Amino acid sequence: MEITKLIREKAKEYRDYTAECLSEMVKIPSVSCDEKQVVLKIKELLENAGVKDVRIDGLGNLIARVGKGPKILAIDAHIDTVDTGDESQWATSPFSGLIKDGYVHGRGTVDQEGGAASMITAARILTEMEYGGKYSVYFTFTVMEEDCDGMCWEYLINEEKLVPDFVVITEPTNLGLYRGHRGRMEVELYFKGLSAHGSAPERGKNVIYSGARVALGIEELNENLKTDEFLGKGTITPTLFRTVSPSLCAIPDQARMHIDRRLTWGETGESAVGELKEICGSDVTIEVPEYDRPSYTGTVYKIEKYFPTWKIEGDHPLVQAGLETHRQLFGESPRVDKWTFSTNGVSICGRHGIPCIGFGPGNEVYAHAPNEKVPVEHLEKATAFYALLPWILGH
């Protein structure tokens, strides 16, 4: 209990410091593939906080370590953001980093540089306490999640050989404890028809009609997909349909339809493609695209855009350690739930089976929305949680 009390006091003492760290990050635009400057700022903040082991890997992820225990706990935040959208919808500049009325305002405060700021302070606290427990605590500030969730961790696991025993994902949970979410995949459907003059459509094969029939089949499929008691129902929907024709008075002979597929427990990329084959027939080419954009370091790390479903059970030791950490710090059990969106957990747990929990500051309703803001109180509590969890896991 002495450790819990000390951590709680330090998190409170550094409350304003944490908010200021976040403010400094928010002032630096950091959309996916353009995170270099915010990564350098976080490196500076960590080194100024006394953290000794800090490095940047070949993809551009920032990795800091506190402790030298034989087991590995990773605490992860992606530090890229989406763009601002229509700035006229923002009450203050998206990059103001304004600290006002108990909130830090700006793009990325919730999704999810708020988690990163709390991680910086937690690393400072563990360093000052000379943490020497059973875990090496890795604080990972990862890139390109908004563009391709989990790809950064494919690089960390496969190329950097960082294979944790447990991971905490600091995406926004409104200070709830999360243990999974649906997977997702992107699918491209390519239609081939036969062009003809618009005055004689019977001579051609119009891909708009082909696409419409497939879209109606997808609508019906969506109503009949699997449901999981915890994760909820799988979904599928077309999000784009684009045709090509020789002119506006000619039958289009090519089309592309983009599909957004959310996968519940028991659904896989293979099963999802199989369902589409039944709807599309042999005239439609089905492809799961590959992500191949270069990171800010210039590294290209290709990955198929299939992001597996994941969850761990409520009685898992990591979930139980998270519950105990919360009870010791705040005197109550947290809400246990799941994300509606996707996170780096698709790689960490979905592909590699490494147990994950989520605990993060901010309400996800502000993610990707104008007037994004995070409560400073949440930053303080998340800091305490990240600093205490290694001690709880080590006992």
pLDDT digits (tens, 9 = 90+) for 213-269: 999 999 999 999 999 999 999 999 999 999 999 999 999 999 999 999 999 999 999
* Pair 109, 25 in one domain: yes
From 35, 57, 80, 380, the catalytic residue: 80
Asked whether residue 299 is domain-assigned, the answer is no
Tally of structural domains, the chain: 2
* Pair 286, 316 in one domain: no
Active site residue 80: yes
110-130 pLDDT, tens digit per residue, is 999 999 999 999 999 999 999
293-338 pLDDT, tens digit per residue, is 999 999 999 999 999 999 999 999 999 999 999 999 999 999 999 9
* Pair 89, 201 in one domain: no
* Pair 102, 217 in one domain: no
* Pair 16, 152 in one domain: yes
* Pair 278, 209 in one domain: yes
Active site residue 101: no
Q: Where are the alpha helices (DSSP H) in the chain?
A: 2-13, 15-26, 36-48, 113-128, 151-158, 207-223, 269-280, 317-330, 345, 376-393
Asked whether residue 189 is domain-assigned, the answer is yes
First vs last C-alpha separation in the chain = 12
Asked whether residue 33 is domain-assigned, the answer is yes
* Pair 31, 176 in one domain: yes
- pLDDT for residue 228: 97
From 145, 171, 275, 380, the catalytic residue: 145
Asked whether residue 34 is domain-assigned, the answer is yes
* Pair 12, 105 in one domain: yes
Helical axes 2-13 vs 317-330, angle rounded to 10°: 70
* Pair 220, 232 in one domain: yes
162-206 pLDDT, tens digit per residue, is 999 999 999 999 999 999 999 999 999 999 999 999 999 999 999
pTM of the model: 0.95
Domain of residue 139 covers 2-181+309-393
* Pair 127, 198 in one domain: no
Contact between 311 and 350 under an 8 Å Cβ cutoff? The reply is: no
- pLDDT for residue 1: 67
